[in-house]
Chain A
């Protein structure tokens, strides 16, 4: 399954590209409209792209009245990404989306000013779970000190899946002036530099939870997508690559199919988790951990 990463595509300005996806993920919707951050908002570096968009979105009222019906009309199932600054805000957003045709709600838990990520994830996912029957995916930032613990907390609170990963913080300076190139100074780093970071996060979260995982971060080719699946992803999302190559969804899907077949997998998802070797499932992981406890004793 190939999706777009939230914030990397507008189905309304690129409907044909969107129809090449298995599902469309919206930009994060917040309770109130947000204009986003002042320019300059993007910068290219040698290893990736920095962005500082600032969750620009029309707010939930206009999203429901105006954007969502038009997004649904494009065709593919719509996953709505929601974001807030408190658990109650996530709950309100999920409650208002519960009666819509949205296929999945993705909780953007990547807000950087969060003191205790495990507790925050528990509070937000619990509140959202109580507000909706829709499948809930928790999207996590890769810079968490203990990502598996947060993933486990999200799973325990009722998340149906995980989206891994959001961008990681980075800074670029103008070589001539040594001043920050983005209006907000730091921004979110995406692209090739994020690829090993995403692999590590997917690998760890799969071991910790066994939940479905949308893997994303620097995917440019079918081989990259297959690596994420091997680490534990059950779907793959494209982000920065879409900016340079609007034909990437169909290309990556075909490359993934060919790459999996070349390695003897009857379909790409048959490779899920193979990077874990003998520890290919959480049941195995639990058995192994139990064994370790025995050794310690």
Chain B
């Protein structure tokens, strides 16, 4: 589901960058990539699968949460013939990314038709359902920008070595303090929040991360 908050002093940043969101009562915030940036608002695609995402999904209008962002490195938008490739909840940053790239084609994979409802947010998208995988439908000659589960990103990288890949990992802080989000990058463990979450893209926004409290819209 789409969770919307008032934008306040926060900059939406570059697609692929993320925000740390903490509803009241949670010890730690949760990293969420920006899904849409409607005027005056920020919107996040949330799959309520655990205590943190459920608390976000249950926010009432006017209820305040702590927000920090935008954080990390987003997608590099200076690309020719882009193709968005996503799987599952990994399509979260694509609506905003698609908007900023002028609506390029998107290839989205889901487990079931019900999970594929999120595809409606991504213009110009083609959906494949399991047992078909996005890699089976990947056309050649495209600059791939991908986000999804780790096996999908690995498979995409084998077919498109230059693809920009947005990874995810559990994070406690989002700004390099906790060392919790270490992933293997080029053979070494590195902090995804500092080196990523988009690898091979590395476009850091000009806007500094701002900590604030905003109300759900």
- Interface residues of A, Cβ cutoff 8 Å to B: 7-10, 12-14, 27, 35-36, 39-44, 48-49, 51, 53, 56, 191-192, 240, 242-247
Contacts of A44 in B (CB 8 A): 26-28, 51-52, 172
Contacts of A39 in B (CB 8 A): 169-170, 182-183
Given contacts A14-B175, A35-B188, could you give 18 more A-B pairs where the C-beta distance is less than 8 Å?
A10-B176, A10-B179, A35-B189, A39-B169, A40-B169, A41-B181, A42-B180, A48-B27, A49-B27, A53-B178, A56-B189, A243-B172, A244-B26, A245-B211, A246-B68, A246-B173, A246-B175, A247-B211
**In the bound complex, CA of A43 to CA of B28 (Å):** 10
Candidates A48, A243, A247; contact of B173 at CB < 8 Å: A243
Whether A14 contacts B177 by the Cβ 8 Å rule is yes
Q: Is B66 in contact with chain A by the CB < 8 A criterion?
A: yes
Chain B residue with Cβ nearest A245: B66
**In the bound complex, CA of A119 to CA of B155 (Å):** 53
20 contacts between A and B (CB under 8 A): A8-B177, A9-B177, A10-B176, A13-B175, A13-B176, A13-B177, A27-B179, A36-B179, A41-B181, A41-B182, A42-B172, A42-B181, A44-B27, A44-B28, A49-B172, A56-B179, A243-B29, A243-B172, A244-B28, A244-B29
Contacts of A27 in B (CB 8 A): 179
**Inter-chain residue pair count (beta carbon < 8 A):** 86
**In the bound complex, CA of A192 to CA of B26 (Å):** 12
Q: Is B194 in contact with chain A by the CB < 8 A criterion?
A: yes
Q: Is B7 in contact with chain A by the CB < 8 A criterion?
A: no
**In the bound complex, CA of A56 to CA of B182 (Å):** 10
Contacts of A242 in B (CB 8 A): 173, 177
Chain B residue with Cβ nearest A183: B182
Whether B180 contacts A51 by the Cβ 8 Å rule is yes
Knowing A49-B27, A49-B172, the reply to whether A41 touches B177 (Cβ < 8 A) is: no
Contacts of B176 in A (CB 8 A): 10, 12-14
Whether B179 contacts A53 by the Cβ 8 Å rule is yes
Q: Is B4 in contact with chain A by the CB < 8 A criterion?
A: no
Whether A42 contacts B178 by the Cβ 8 Å rule is yes
Whether B188 contacts A246 by the Cβ 8 Å rule is no
Q: Is B204 in contact with chain A by the CB < 8 A criterion?
A: no
Interface residues of B in 63-93 (CB under 8 A from A): 66, 68
Whether A7 contacts B22 by the Cβ 8 Å rule is no
Whether A43 contacts B170 by the Cβ 8 Å rule is yes
Candidates A8, A48, A245, A247; contact of B178 at CB < 8 Å: A8
Chain A residue with Cβ nearest B68: A246
**In the bound complex, CA of A192 to CA of B136 (Å):** 48
Contacts of B188 in A (CB 8 A): 35
**In the bound complex, CA of A177 to CA of B211 (Å):** 36
Contacts of B170 in A (CB 8 A): 39-43
Contacts of A247 in B (CB 8 A): 211
Chain B residue with Cβ nearest A40: B170
Q: Nearest Cβ in chain A — how far from B169, in angstroms?
A: 6
Q: Which 9 A-B pairs have the closest CB atoms?
A: A13-B176, A42-B180, A243-B173, A243-B172, A53-B179, A10-B176, A41-B180, A9-B177, A35-B189
Interface residues of B in 135-174 (CB under 8 A from A): 169-173
Contacts of B180 in A (CB 8 A): 41-42, 51, 53
Contacts of A246 in B (CB 8 A): 68, 173, 175, 211
Whether A244 contacts B211 by the Cβ 8 Å rule is no
**In the bound complex, CA of A9 to CA of B180 (Å):** 12
Q: Nearest Cβ in chain A — how far from B53, in angstroms?
A: 12
Q: Nearest Cβ in chain B — how far from A46, in angstroms?
A: 8
**In the bound complex, CA of A245 to CA of B179 (Å):** 16
Contacts of B182 in A (CB 8 A): 36, 39, 41, 53, 56
Contacts of B169 in A (CB 8 A): 39-40
Contacts of A48 in B (CB 8 A): 27
Whether A49 contacts B177 by the Cβ 8 Å rule is no
Contacts of A42 in B (CB 8 A): 170-172, 178, 180-181
Contacts of B183 in A (CB 8 A): 39
